[in-house]
Amino acid sequence: MFQNLSERLGQVLTRLTKRGALSASDVAEAMREVRVALLEADVALPVVKDFIDKVSAEAVGEKVIKSVTPGQMVVKIVHDALVEMLGGTAPAEGVDLAAPIPVAILMVGLQGSGKTTTTAKIANRLMTKNRKKVLLVSLDTYRPAAQEQLAILGRQVAVETLPIVSGQMPIDIAKRGLDEARKGGFDVVMFDTAGRTTVDDEMMAEVAALRDLIKPHEVLLVSDAMIGQDAVATAKAFNDRLAVTGIVLTRVDGDARGGAALSMRAVTGKPIKLIGVGEKVDALDVFDPSRIAGRILGMGDIVSLVERAAETVDKEEAERVALRMMEGQFDFNDMLSQIRQVQKMGDLKGLMGMIPGLSNALKQAKGLNVDDKVVKRQEAMILSMTPKERRNPDLIKASRKQRIATGSGMSVADVNKLLKQHADMSTMMKRIKKMGGPSAMGAMINRMGGLPGLQAPRGPGGPPMFRR
């Protein structure tokens, strides 16, 4: 998500930053383009208007015109306004459990927005991260097999679901669920509901009645990140009727431009709490406005990257490799270890998008297809080497290359490519050693992340310059 919007805004704003002085008409011109970029990203019209008015007013102010780098001031203003629109600089919150147990959570939304999958994901998160005992209850008696779907997902994440009694009405299931949650000593009870359109009075009355019975501590509105201008009507209708406490955006791993995230928060004033970022049950992240704003402006999301790394990387192994890197050493065992660490962190494209500056660079290098298979193949080739060869890559000459190629189902040319890549990386390691070890690299990253994006390198070549 956000990549396209990020690219568009990046182009407009880069032009500004390349300017020395900025006139009011420069800013107005840029804002017209920002407006179109936001609209094409499905940001709701009223939200766009507010945003543009606000940014324009600040951007033509004296502070900007007189500053040494007016373009970068405008970028900062846009960044700050985005953060505010997304929910301000308040820390990301996730699900609120500060209530007497069992804490009830009600999941609502349109058909097909992803309620059932999200319910299971949240339950999984509450269980593994918060150590809570969770009960899942499906109140969807309409869609065929919806209750079974939740039961199956519950089994997958090892969370209990209320036994299905066929023919029972939602309100009776809810009563049974509350009862069971109290008796069974559950910390949290989550109610999944049927998808409904906001104009269906009967269905909206039903969910309101359910809300009155359950008295949930959290009413989470689940919305597809691909939603268009209807985001406003939908968010408003659910919020007016049910007093939503938070929003969960699903399918954020798609290529939607993320307007929904920007609009829903602005329209309801309710925080976006969580985002669904993949098909696996643990693909659920806490929503952090300032990080997302950074991503939108192509500044990357180094914090998420580091966190993801911290969660998945084997620390001892990483330290061992780092130590060797400091000594300027880098053999195929180290490369293999790195490949595996990266694989554990997930999809390469997603990871690269988080690195400041790289998301723009990736876009411009259109031919560069980051493929996880490439990594798999590299792994296969290294695994076809003998331990001796891995320690001492210089050994690998003609017949050994042939053997490695055959062993991994690749060609000699592929093996050569791998050797070249290893040699390049090895050279880089030696250079890092000369610079003074990984601390030099750390300092570099700090510089990029510290000043939100203002110093972040743009992609090679950069977007075509704007001419007046």
Partner 1 sequence: MNESGDGGSSGWFARLKSGLARTSSRLVGGITDLFTKKKLDDATLNGLEELLIGADLGSVTAGRLVQHLARTRVGKDITEAEVREIFAADIAKVLEPVARPLSPDPTKKPFVILMVGVNGAGKTTTIGKLANQFRDHGLNVALAAGDTFRAAAVEQLKVWGGRSGATVFARETGTDAASLAFDALMESRKRGDDVLLVDTAGRLQNKENLMQELQKIVRVLKKLDDTAPHATLLVLDATVGQNAHSQVEVFRSMVGVTGLVMTKLDGTAKGGVVVALAEKFALPVHYVGVGESVEDLRPFSARAFARGLMGLEA
CB closer to partner 1 out of 278 and 393:
278
Burial class (CB in 10 A: 0-12, 13-18, 19+), 70: buried
CB closer to partner 1 out of 39 and 342:
39
Q: How far apart are CA 288 and CA 295, in angstroms?
A: 11
CB closer to partner 1 out of 44 and 188:
44
Tell me the two tokens of residue 427.
Answer: 């050279």
CB closer to partner 1 out of 110 and 432:
110
Q: How far is the CB of 92 from partner 1 (least distance, A)?
A: 24
- The edge-to-edge listing of strands for the beta sheet with 103-109 is 160-161, 134-138, 188-192, 103-109, 218-224, 246-250, 272-276, 284-286
Q: Rounded to 5 degrees, what are φ and ψ at 288? A: -120, 110
CB closer to partner 1 out of 104 and 252:
252
Q: Find out whether 221 and 272 touch, Cβ atoms under 8 Å.
A: no
Q: How far is the CB of 160 from partner 1 (least distance, A)?
A: 16
Q: How far is the CB of 361 from partner 1 (least distance, A)?
A: 18
Q: How far is the CB of 262 from partner 1 (least distance, A)?
A: 12
Q: How far is the CB of 378 from partner 1 (least distance, A)?
A: 17
Q: Which of 335, 317, 324, 343 is nearest to 382 (CA)?
A: 335
Q: Which of 98, 95, 124 is nearest to 107 (CA)?
A: 95
226-262 burial, b for 16+ CB within 10 Å, e for fewer?
bbeeebbebbebbbebbebbbbbbbbbbeebbbbbbb
CB closer to partner 1 out of 81 and 153:
153
H, E, C per residue of 359-407: HHHHHHCCCCCCCHHHHHHHHHHHHCCCHHHHHCHHHCCHHHHHHHHHH
CB closer to partner 1 out of 77 and 274:
274
Q: How far is the CB of 74 from partner 1 (least distance, A)?
A: 22
CB closer to partner 1 out of 222 and 404:
222
H-type alpha helices, 129-217: 146-156, 170-183, 201-214
Q: How far is the CB of 308 from partner 1 (least distance, A)?
A: 19
Q: How far is the CB of 131 from partner 1 (least distance, A)?
A: 25
CB closer to partner 1 out of 259 and 294:
259
Q: How far apart are CA 309 and CA 323, in angstroms?
A: 18
Q: How far apart are CA 235 and CA 284, in angstroms?
A: 21
Q: Rounded to 5 degrees, what are φ and ψ at 370? A: -75, 115
Binding site for partner 1 (CB under 8 A): 36, 39-42, 44-45, 110-114, 117, 142-146, 148-149, 151-153, 156, 197-200, 224, 226-231, 233-234, 237, 251, 253-257, 259-260, 279, 371-372
Q: How far is the CB of 212 from partner 1 (least distance, A)?
A: 24
